[in-house]
């Protein structure tokens, strides 16, 4: 079942764009481990928050991605940019009005 | 700029699957007004919550969709299934590690 992860990452003041740049670095590794969609965004009403929406082939693929060396390195680089305040939620996709199944 | 809407909809106890069925009804109208992605899902840890992730060509397209007769009818049908507790957030997509731009 397709797995969705939605997240909000609170950054240290002024570091939002640094985190965005880090998160949108081109990554073939994510493709190969079942990442179907990974959108990074901002909302000017929340100047110190970065938003992510991810779709994965399943929850296991998402979990497996977190231990990839490339992802671990990215997390390490992101850590000083973050306050530690993380939000969001996960869910299993059950359908869409844009397709029949 | 691609616009993302992420939402959580709290349902009346036991009405989650009724709301899911309503939200995943096939809709050509959404395609035509700029809906790029509309995923509906559940998380068994939250038995009375339905999750949605939507991507739109831009924020205006999302706003315009809300006044479509078909969407208004769907909202009216959904209302008795909902407690009124809505969550989530919106953001503008600025990039993805899955593509170069």
B3-83 topology per CATH: Alpha-Beta Plaits (3.30.70)
Helix H segments across A1-101? Answer: 16-23, 28-32, 59-65, 69-78
pLDDT digit string (tens) for B50-61? 999 999 999 999
Q: Would you say the ipTM is above 0.90?
A: yes
Domain coordinates of chain B in residue numbers? 3-83
Strands (E), B1-101: 3-11, 35-42, 49-56, 82-95
pLDDT digit string (tens) for B78-90? 999 999 999 999 9
Contacting residues of A for B53, CB less than 8 Å apart? 4, 6, 53, 55
Distance from CA of B51 to the nearest CA of A (A): 7
For residue B26, give both structure tokens.
């096939």
Q: 3.90.550.10, 3.40.50.2300, 3.30.70.100, 3.40.50.300: which CATH number matches A3-87?
A: 3.30.70.100
């Amino acid at each position: 079942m397709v797995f969705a992860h939605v997240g909000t990452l609170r950054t240290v003041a002024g570091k939002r764009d640094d985190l965005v740049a880090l998160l949108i670095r081109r990554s073939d590794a994510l493709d190969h481990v079942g990442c179907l969609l990974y959108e990074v965004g901002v909302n000017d009403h929340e100047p110190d928050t970065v938003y992510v929406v991810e779709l994965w082939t399943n929850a296991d693929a998402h979990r497996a991605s977190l231990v990839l060396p490339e992802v671990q390195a990215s997390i390490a680089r992101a850590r000083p940019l973050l306050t530690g305040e993380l939000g969001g939620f996960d869910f299993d996709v059950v359908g869409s009005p844009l397709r029949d199944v």
